[in-house]
Structure formats: structure tokens, C-alpha cells
């Protein structure tokens, strides 16, 4: 018989639990599905929150051919075969066949390239699912042709609704007298993963020989200790643990940072995932307070790629401790965020004439580049002039946070620009 999670897989949006921001009444995906025409998109979220289920519901609703590939087992040849099938099954008046790719972040660049043309020409509508940030894992041309929708870990109320549905509607479980006396352990071990929750419930119920099963925290803990593979160790509290890891580094606690990193290593986490987070932390949280942190984090990433487990854990630990014990500054992070916000508010302001490039005679006649001062011709390799658009003269975006390293940079700016940096 099928596992409980498969037996309870929703067939319609009305049966679907969670993700109301996407599929609730009036939500973006709900409207798209109800209209009967969807565009390519990628679903990004933790394991067990309904990415595959949502793709299957869409295919059923639209009554269009549905092809599935797993990035773990499929190659370029498999992608091309599916695209050829989609071409043959396409009718002029019908919607494009749907190609669902699970774990699309595991596709190589060449595999993703092989999808581009078919997606662009509408031969297939691509639905990708990933647990990793698509910005890092999906090639830019493909990402630009897809909408991105973020799925969230299921809330406690969602999981409780799922448990009630399981014990009251499942063909096997409703034969038993199941009482949910306590659910804290079920929630803790499932970590917001619906599939894991149902696997644990099935394990606990099937391990009891009596008709009546009272589910308590103690019973769940005992059964899972006896069956360490009862739940997906690799995905356990994936997002909570990485969050704790990053916050421990940001909070300058190397012991906690090492602990959470050890939890990820023991859980079978991809070492590249850990290394990427170290690089992000180095630039976001340490930043200009210690620029060497980014160099060391990148070196750790490079080491992971070159030597792999188990030795790579040492390089990751070295970077982890270095980042946690480094002084902290997010001035660069705040600066670029403020700059992006300013660009969104002010639009495409013209570049001042003296800063423009003048590769042609006409541009030179129009005054492009005219009046530009070459800093290296002046003492200290600096000469004050306007670099911002006219409407933003003297606008400040970078604000030093005065760590020892940043204080030197700030004093240099104060020396060069004077009052502009006294604000």
C-alpha cells in the first residue's frame, strides 16, 4: 500500500493546506490557475510544504499533458526527449504541456541551457521546484523567463489540520481509534514538513499493536529513538538551523556557530550550502570591519570544492570561527540597500556631462567628458568634483560604523571631502 503521505496528497486547491498567500482566494497563483493560463514559474521553499503537490494540482486543473523530471536522475538527453514529446502533444488551441522539474537547483548549466529555447517559445510551461535560493542555482536567462514564488514552512495550525484529516479520512488510519493527546513532539520532529509529519504519524501508529492508539510526546520520542531513519535527517529543521548558525556568527558567538554547523554536517547538509552562507555572512555582517573575512570565506568555499568531505569541515570551521570572532559592520549592506531604494525612487537620472564617455567626435562636440578632472594628476590622487547626478549632489549612502578598520576609511573620507562626511 502507498505511504500515508501519498494517500493524503491533495487533488484540488480546496484540499491543499497552507500557502494562502499564493493559493488563497484572490491570491496570485489561484487567479492564474482559475484563469486556465499559467506562465513558467519556480517554487522555492523548504522540503515538504507542497511544491510537487501544487504542480500536480495545476496540471489536473488545466487538463494538459504533464511531464516530470528529477534533476537528480535526469540528463540533457532526458530533457530533450520530453521537449520532443511536448511538441508532438501540443495542439494550437490548448495550453502548453507542463514540465515539472523537481530539485531544479541540481541541474547543471548545460541542462538548464537545454530548457531555454522550449520555455522561450512556449513549447512547455516550466514549473521548477527548489529548496535552494534560485539566484545562486538557476542560470540568469532561465530565471528571467520564470516568475518566482516563495513557499513557507507550514504553520502549527496547518499541521494540526493535516493530522486531523489523516486520522479521520485516511482509509487505513480511520479503522483505528487514534487520539491526539499531545502533538508537541510531532511538531518538533516534523519541522514544518508535512511529508515528514505524516511519515512519523504512520510509523507511530503502525508500531502499536492495539486498536486504540493514544499519541503522546513520550510515545513519539520513544518510537523515533528506536527508528532513527523514520524521518528525513538531512532536512530536519533545515531553515531554522541555518538561521541559528548565521545569527550566532552575527552575534559573535563562535561556540554556538560551531555547534549549529556541526548539526548541519551531522544532518548530511551539502557543504557548498554551508560555504555559501559563510560568504554571505562575511559580506553582510562583517563587511568593512574586517575585509579579510570575505577572502577567508571564499577560500573556505574554494577548499570545499577542491577537497570535499571530511577534510573540508576543517576549512569551514576555520572560517566559521574567524567570522564569529571578527568585528562586525553592515555598513556596505545598508549602503547598497539604500542606494537601490534611491534608484527606485528617482529613476534614470542623467549622468553629468563631465562623467560621460566620449568615444565619438559628435559626443565630444556635445560636451561629453568635457570638464572631467583626472584625480591622478593631483596631490594625493584626489581632486574634488561632482560624481552624483545633479539632483543628488552630496547625497550620502555609505555611513561608517567606526570599527577600527572602518574608522580609518571614514577619516580618509573626512580628510578628502570635509563637511560632506561630517553629517
For the whole model, what pTM was predicted? Answer: 0.55
Q: Which segments of the chain belong to CATH 3.40.50.300?
A: 19-150
**What pLDDT does residue 228 have?**
42
Confidence of residue 275 (pLDDT cuts 50, 70, 90): very high
More confident residue, 96 or 169: 169
Is residue 227 predicted with pLDDT exceeding 50? no
Q: CA torsion, points 2, 4, 5, 6, in degrees to nearest 10?
A: 30
Is residue 93 predicted with pLDDT exceeding 60? no
Confidence of residue 362 (pLDDT cuts 50, 70, 90): low
Bridge partners of 69, per DSSP, are: 101
Question: For residue 72, which of 32, 14, 120, 111 has the smallest C-alpha distance?
Answer: 111
Question: Looking at 37-122, which runs of residues are DSSP E strands?
Answer: 41-44, 66-70, 98-102
The answer to whether 15 and 207 have CB atoms below 8 angstroms apart is no
Cα angle 45-49-53, degrees, rounded to a multiple of 5: 110
**What pLDDT does residue 296 have?**
93
**What pLDDT does residue 367 have?**
59
Q: pLDDT digits over 104-156, tens only? A: 888 877 888 888 888 888 888 889 998 887 877 788 888 888 888 888 888 88
More confident residue, 107 or 278: 278
Looking up cell 493559493 gives 23
Class in CATH terms, 237-325: mainly alpha
Confidence of residue 229 (pLDDT cuts 50, 70, 90): very low
Rg of the Cα trace of the chain? 27
Class in CATH terms, 156-234: mainly alpha
**What pLDDT does residue 298 have?**
92
Question: For residue 302, which of 322, 282, 320, 276 has the smallest C-alpha distance?
Answer: 276
Residue 81, C-beta contacts closer than 8 angstroms, at least 6 positions apart:
none
CA 69 from chain centre, in angstroms, equals: 21
Half-sphere exposure of 110 (CA within 13 A, CB side): 5
**What pLDDT does residue 235 have?**
44
Q: Which segments of the chain belong to CATH 1.10.8.60?
A: 156-234
CA–CA separation, 201 vs 197, rounded Å? 6
CA–CA separation, 345 vs 315, rounded Å? 43
Q: pLDDT digits over 233-268, tens only? A: 444 456 678 888 899 899 888 888 898 888 888 777
Q: pLDDT digits over 279-336, tens only? A: 999 999 998 889 999 999 999 999 988 887 788 899 999 999 999 998 898 888 888 8
Task: Report how far apart, in Å, the C-alpha atoms of 129 and of each of 63, 111, 147, 239, 327 are.
Answer: 20, 15, 12, 16, 38
Q: What is the CATH number of domain 19-150?
A: 3.40.50.300
The answer to whether 410 and 422 have CB atoms below 8 angstroms apart is no
396 exposure class (CB count in 10 Å sphere: 0-12, 13-18, 19+): exposed
Question: Looking at 79-167, which runs of residues are DSSP E strands?
Answer: 98-102, 125-130, 147-150
Is residue 198 predicted with pLDDT exceeding 50? yes
DSSP string covering 360-398? SHHHHHTTTTTT---GGGSGGG------S-GGGTT----
| Helix H or strand E encompassing 259 | helix 254-266
Amino acid at each position: 500500500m502507498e505511504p500515508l503521505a501519498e494517500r493524503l496528497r491533495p487533488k484540488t486547491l480546496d484540499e491543499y493546506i497552507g500557502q494562502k498567500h499564493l493559493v488563497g482566494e484572490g491570491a496570485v497563483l489561484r487567479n492564474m490557475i482559475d484563469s486556465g493560463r499559467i506562465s513558467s514559474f519556480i517554487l522555492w521553499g523548504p522540503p515538504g510544504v507542497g511544491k510537487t503537490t501544487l504542480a500536480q494540482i495545476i496540471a489536473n486543473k488545466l487538463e494538459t499533458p504533464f511531464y516530470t523530471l528529477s534533476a537528480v536522475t535526469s540528463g540533457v538527453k532526458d530533457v530533450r526527449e520530453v521537449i520532443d514529446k511536448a511538441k508532438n502533444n501540443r495542439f494550437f488551441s490548448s495550453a502548453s504541456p507542463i514540465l515539472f522539474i523537481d530539485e531544479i537547483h541540481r541541474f547543471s548549466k548545460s541542462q538548464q541551457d537545454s530548457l531555454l529555447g522550449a520555455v522561450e517559445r512556449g513549447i512547455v510551461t516550466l514549473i521548477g521546484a527548489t529548496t535552494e535560493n534560485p539566484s545562486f542555482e538557476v542560470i540568469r536567462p532561465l530565471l528571467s523567463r520564470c516568475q518566482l514564488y516563495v513557499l513557507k514552512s507550514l504553520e502549527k495550525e496547518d499541521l494540526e489540520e493535516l493530522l486531523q484529516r489523516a486520522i479521520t479520512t485516511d482509509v487505513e488510519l480511520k479503522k483505528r481509534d487514534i487520539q491526539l493527546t499531545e502533538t508537541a513532539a510531532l511538531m518538533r520532529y516534523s519541522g514544518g514538513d508535512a511529508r515528514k509529519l505524516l511519515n512519523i504519524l504512520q510509523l507511530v501508529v503502525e508500531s502499536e499493536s492495539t486498536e486504540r492508539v493514544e499519541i503522546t510526546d513520550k510515545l513519539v520520542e520513544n518510537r523515533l529513538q528506536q527508528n532513527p531513519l523514520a524521518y528525513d535527517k538531512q532536512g530536519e529543521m533545515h531553515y531554522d538551523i541555518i538561521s541559528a548558525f548565521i545569527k550566532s556568527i552575527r552575534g559573535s558567538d563562535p561556540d554556538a556557530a560551531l555547534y549549529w554547523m556541526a548539526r548541519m554536517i551531522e544532518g548530511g547538509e551539502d557543504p557548498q550550502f554551508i560555504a555559501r552562507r559563510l560568504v554571505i555572512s562575511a559580506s553582510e555582517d562583517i563587511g568593512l570591519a574586517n575585509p579579510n573575512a570575505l577572502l577567508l570565506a571564499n577560500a573556505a568555499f574554494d577548499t570545499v570544492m577542491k577537497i570535499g568531505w571530511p577534510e573540508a569541515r576543517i576549512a569551514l570551521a576555520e572560517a566559521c570561527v574567524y567570522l564569529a570572532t571578527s568585528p562586525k559592520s553592515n555598513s556596505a549592506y545598508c549602503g547598497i540597500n539604500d542606494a537601490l531604494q534611491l534608484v527606485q525612487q528617482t529613476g534614470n537620472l542623467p549622468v553629468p556631462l563631465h562623467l560621460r564617455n566620449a568615444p565619438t567626435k559628435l559626443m565630444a562636440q556635445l560636451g561629453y567628458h568635457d570638464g572631467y578632472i583626472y584625480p591622478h594628476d593631483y596631490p594625493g590622487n584626489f581632486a574634488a568634483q561632482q560624481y552624483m547626478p545633479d539632483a543628488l549632489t552630496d547625497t550620502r549612502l555609505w555611513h561608517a560604523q567606526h570599527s577600527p578598520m572602518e574608522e580609518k576609511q571614514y577619516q580618509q573620507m573626512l580628510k578628502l571631502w570635509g563637511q560632506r562626511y561630517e553629517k
